[in-house]
Amino acid sequence: MTVALEIDGLAKVYGTLRAVNDFSLRVERGTIFGLLGPNGAGKTTLIRMLTTLIRPSAGSARIEGHSVLTSARTVRSLIGVVPQENNLDRYLTCRENLVLHARMYGMAPTEYNRRIDELLELIGLTGRQHDFPDTFSGGMQRRLVVARALVHTPRVLFLDEPTTGLDPQSRRAVWDYVQSLTPQMTIFLTTHYMDEADALCDRIVIMDHGRALVDGTAAELKERLAHAHMYELEFRSDGERYEKILRELPFVRNLQRTGNSFRLALEGEEFLKPLMDRIGGDDIRKICLKEPSLEDVFIELTGREVRE
């Protein structure tokens, strides 16, 4: 495997908190890698260390063979970063935002003008290039932030929650675009959307409390739960009452509720009868066996309590 990213025992400590704790990883060149984890798991801290914004407390990381500790300048020239927030300069036009970025990377106008024309075409903003970002929709701003990270043709692109807050059409447009960047580029992305990780990523790590919990393709992670007996259960009414009943049953796990519908795992097939005996059949609209989803794996590993 040709490695784009090598991380060895990376850690970041804030006081007594280990935000990232002994994290090691190899990411193959030309692939899309996805990092998942609940709020506060340490994803942004890890990205900040890899993009040379903060110094690790321990461990090492190399990007395309260059150390983030001793060759930070080289690393910065090799990477593109799309942060969580759309941090565009609102006093510059769409094109000027891209030009400013090109100049910061020391590119000459002969080099960057053509590149910017290509990128504007690719993200469908050629006709709006002289407008200010404040007049753009969220999806257009997001596309511009991604294009800006690509002006200097990075080898590795970091995307921190690239589609948060976008409508389904814009999300899919970003997915198509990200996919079109490989295999020339390696993509490292974080997301809270399981369908996004499932659709886009060649490989996924789920992290929590600063550590990697599992590592594999979406199919491999789901296979971990293949033994689990997942069911979808829908009641005609009284979702709240049934939630209480289901939570008290010792053989029910990973309960997720949406209105009167539930997803749950049973500890074994033999518990289906006791389940039906307890809830009775009158109010049930639907019950069916479910293939485990990536979200089920995520909840199984990281628990269901809401994080700060």
Tokens of 84: 């969580």
Smallest gap from residue 305 Cβ to ligand ATP (A): 14
Query: Judged by CB, which is closer to ligand ATP: 188, or 262?
Result: 188
Q: What's the CA gap between 308 and 40, in Å, rounded? A: 7
Tokens of 72: 């930070």
Decide if 136 contacts 97 (C-beta within 8 A): no
Smallest gap from residue 17 Cβ to ligand ATP (A): 6
> Contact residues for ligand ATP (CB under 6 A)?
14, 17, 19, 37, 39-45
Residues 6 or more apart whose Cβ sits within 8 Å of residue 75: 51, 52, 63, 66, 67, 68
Smallest gap from residue 11 Cβ to ligand ATP (A): 12
Q: What's the CA gap between 81 and 154, in Å, rounded? A: 9
Smallest gap from residue 46 Cβ to ligand ATP (A): 7
Query: Judged by CB, which is closer to ligand ATP: 109, or 303?
Result: 303
Query: Judged by CB, which is closer to ligand ATP: 31, or 45?
Result: 45
Decide if 20 contacts 11 (C-beta within 8 A): yes
Smallest gap from residue 113 Cβ to ligand ATP (A): 36
Backbone angles phi, psi at 167, to 5 degrees: -75, 165
Query: Judged by CB, which is closer to ligand ATP: 50, or 266?
Result: 50
Smallest gap from residue 35 Cβ to ligand ATP (A): 8
Number of CB atoms found within 10 A of residue 113's CB: 15
Q: Which stretches of 29-78 are assigned E, i.e. beta strand?
A: 32-36, 58-63, 66-67
Query: Judged by CB, which is closer to ligand ATP: 79, or 173?
Result: 79
Query: Judged by CB, which is closer to ligand ATP: 35, or 147?
Result: 35
